[in-house]
Structure 1
Amino acid sequence: MEEEYDVMAMSVPDADFYNFDKDRVEASFGENQVWAAYDDYGMPRWYALVHKVVSQEPFKTCISWLDGKKNGYVGSMKKWIDSGYYKTSGCFSIQKRSSNDSLNSFSHRVQWTICEKGLVHIYPRIGNVWALYENWSTSWDISTSVEEMNKYEMVEVLQDFSEEGGVTVVPLVQVPGFITVFRRLPKQRTFPRNELFRFSHQVPSHFLTTQDGENAPEGFLELDPAALPQELLETVVKKPEEEVDDVLEIPNNVATDDETKVKIEWKVTK
């Protein structure tokens, strides 16, 4: 039986430079694509396989949701999944087909492969940006507070995930004076396979160049504000004690808190 979620809405600021919405218009969708969709917390942690684009205007697709709950997890990982937390890396089964006419329920395309058993594989790939659960623990269960769960850190993936080596990442931090511009920290971290559930969701990103605007900080990453937690959707102000060499010099005309807000609404059947 299909479960229908109420229409949800969230207000997010515009990105400082790049327009992420242009990557998720009607013409962006095609057959055999996997798209991430916003969940009931407003983060892109659901996946849908697009079988067919029925029409662009009005927007209508034939999709199958991907289910990650039935693929052999035991012990603490099974408890974590059974408690309602979303799995966003690993193997997923393809559910029955259904129609979807909600363009704004989708965030971004996802890289994927399919194995001989017909399971869809989704893992962190080199160049991806992911949000990690800052306080993640295998002991999380249904009693874990939403406040503890919804604290994140942003990372860039440095190499494709492998069963043996796990996944290596570099932390990202906001550049003072901007909302959605991030820079890499000069340190790496490697997470083994059994910590994949630490990875909450992929965040669409764009590598900035001077083509993105006169004052665009070239070589830095811009992240999609629609996939960022609320605590990061504020202009970062440089603190007096910060080292000058540790931050990028900020141009005068930076984003402000009174910039235009964008409404995102979606209705999802899953």
Structure 2
Amino acid sequence: MIDTTSNKLLRRRAVSETLMKGTCAESVGKKRKRNEYDDSCIARYIGAVSNNRRGSSDNGDACIGEESAQANISECVVGPKFNDFSKLREEANFKVGQTWALYDTMDGMPRLYAQIRKVSAPCFGLMITYLEPDSNDEKELQWFEKDLPVSVGNFRLGENKSTKDRSIFSHVIHCNERSNASCFSITCRFISTYHFSVSPRNGETWALFKNWDIKWSLKPDSHRKYEYEFVKILSDYADETGVYVAYLHKAKGFASVFFRMGRGYEGIFRILPQSLYRFSHRIPSFKLTGIEGKGVPKDAYELDKAALPETIEEFIVPLDSESNIKSKRQDIYFASKGNVFLTGQIWSFYCGDDSLPLYYGRIQKITFTQAFMQDPVCKLHIGRLKATRFPADVIDWENKGTPVGCGTFYARKALEIITPSEVSLQITPQTSIDGIEYTILPKIGEVWVIYKYWSRDMDAEDFSFASYNIVEILDDTLEYKVQLLKHDPFYKDHKKENTLLRAVKKNESWEMEGSGSYIPTYTIPKRERIRFSNKVPASRVTIEMYGELVDLISVDSRALPSHLIASDH
């Protein structure tokens, strides 16, 4: 009997073989070959018919090669175009370690991915390694087993190929990579890693499958011809919340200009993590300013026609579109001791007997008074943030009144008043499109205080005797990889209120969690995120000591547990 893991490996191997059939450079190149010199639709139509394939041009026009001449002339996209997308694919732009999107053989959209292993010169040539889907979700496994297109999610290295044809490539993609030993997030610069993930990023433009359903895999042959919707990505994808997007519509009278219809939250919606396969492919685009030509909508986008279907419904740009009207928000601000406070900001703050900044608040109103011959008194009216329900796979405190350092929050309507002396650090969360929820999670480069010994049923007395560590976040891709930091009295900060920290070295003894091992870097699973107590204001400094330069981290001493400053335990 084959176990579940072995069965999945066999299924993935079969998918890999299916995926690579017909994806060689020559066949894809024939399907998407570009004529970069001929602007005549009729001339390209004749060439397309003679080659019995679809042709396209990076200078903005496209024709279908198997219809009548009249049909092709009528479907040639006419109208102004403002950017030359072919420059994205010039020889000089290909570099070892990049990951590129390639056009597939289904309908010629850029859904395949490959890493550049070698670039040959002066005679241009590439050695590439394809990426193949690598999902652990049963429904997603069934999806790509049926040879349905996949452009998001997890991938792994696949087959190697050689090619000299640049026309099979669309654009460079950004992905997260991790090796067998450790995880780190980069922009696809190295090829020595093992697993990869691709997801929509804020500011990108993507195509969605229209009327998508994950159950297409039950009758895959009924879902081989695709219709699309087009969206702008409004937030980076997150495993907990998914991603927010806004519909884009093609502007009538332009070759490939797209704009947002309506105003405010109209046309904005969220795609949940379980619906990630609704994304068909990313479309390269340039943002327009509105001064490129007559009638160009402001803040619209010009999309690469090589990544668009033949026929797209067009709309006349209305006067009240989001691209033509931008609302202006009036902020009230107050400056105090180097901090600038504005309505809408979120800050961590101290409260009551707690010696650490364990709470978050959103500034709803700012008031200040100044009596004669006295300094002004500022009051911050805040809505304290309250954590929403934790996901099922994340550990929560048993005592629901325990402060939560990271997660998703909403601001209470009841206002509290604090002063600037009670705040610690301005926080930049990921905000939901409706402005109601705020997600605060540890990010690479940040410094946090974490609980050294902990359990989910800790009570108030346990917290009063809690032990802590100070860590820097090294990676936040799949789990939190952290570096232990310690206070070294040998180094002094010129700011008396700050403490200098340095990384713990391998030969220093720091016993971790009773394991008996001494590890200066280790991993915290994301399901244990309640271990993160509070974020610490920090900045990097370089000081000279006895003729040597030393890199340290300067932190606000007030945001640290006192015993971590007084001793090195």
TM-score by length of 1: 0.80
Query: In structure 2, do the counterparts of structure 1 residues 80 and 228 end up closer, same or farther at CA, with 3 Å as the change threshold?
Result: same
Q: Distance in 2 between matches of 1:127 and 1:247?
A: 15
Q: Distance in 2 between matches of 1:28 and 1:231?
A: 30
- Paired residues for 1:1-270 under 5 Å: 3-4=21-22, 5=24, 6=27, 7-9=30-32, 10-12=54-56, 14-15=59-60, 16-40=81-105, 41-55=107-121, 57-68=122-133, 70-74=134-138, 76-117=139-180, 118-141=194-217, 142-147=220-225, 150-185=226-261, 186-209=266-289, 212=292, 216-232=296-312, 236=314, 238=316, 245-246=320-321
Deviation at 1:73, TM superposition (A): 2.7
Question: Unaligned 5+ residue runs, structure 2?
Answer: 1-16, 33-53, 61-80, 181-193, 325-569
Q: Distance in 2 between matches of 1:79 and 1:97?
A: 25
Q: Distance in 2 between matches of 1:140 and 1:152?
A: 15
- Name the larger-Rg structure: 2
Deviation at 1:61, TM superposition (A): 1.0
Deviation at 1:245, TM superposition (A): 3.8
Alignment deviations for residues 91-149 of structure 1 (CA, whole Å, 9 cap, x no partner): 110124332211000001101120133201111000111100011111103232433xx
Alignment deviations for residues 11-31 of structure 1 (CA, whole Å, 9 cap, x no partner): 346432111111111111101
Q: Distance in 1 between matches of 2:94 and 2:175?
A: 15
- The amino acid that maps onto 1:209 is T
Deviation at 1:63, TM superposition (A): 1.1
Q: Distance in 1 between matches of 2:120 and 2:269?
A: 43
- The amino acid that maps onto 2:222 is T
Q: Distance in 1 between matches of 2:163 and 2:291?
A: 35
Q: What is the Cα-based RMSD across aligned positions, in Å?
A: 2.5
Q: Distance in 2 between matches of 1:46 and 1:200?
A: 11
Q: Distance in 2 between matches of 1:19 and 1:42?
A: 19
Query: Contact conserved, 2:300 with 2:323, CA < 8 A, in 1?
Result: no
* Larger RCO, structures 1/2 (Cα 8 Å, 6+ apart): 1
Query: Contact conserved, 2:31 with 2:55, CA < 8 A, in 1?
Result: no
1:230 match: secondary structure: coil
Deviation at 1:36, TM superposition (A): 0.2
Q: Distance in 2 between matches of 1:248 and 1:72?
A: 40
- The amino acid that maps onto 2:277 is F
TM-score by length of 2: 0.39
Question: Unaligned 5+ residue runs, structure 1?
Answer: 250-270
Q: Distance in 1 between matches of 2:320 and 2:290?
A: 22
Which residue in 1 is equivalent to 2:10? none
Query: Contact conserved, 1:175 with 1:182, CA < 8 A, in 2?
Result: yes
Deviation at 1:87, TM superposition (A): 1.4
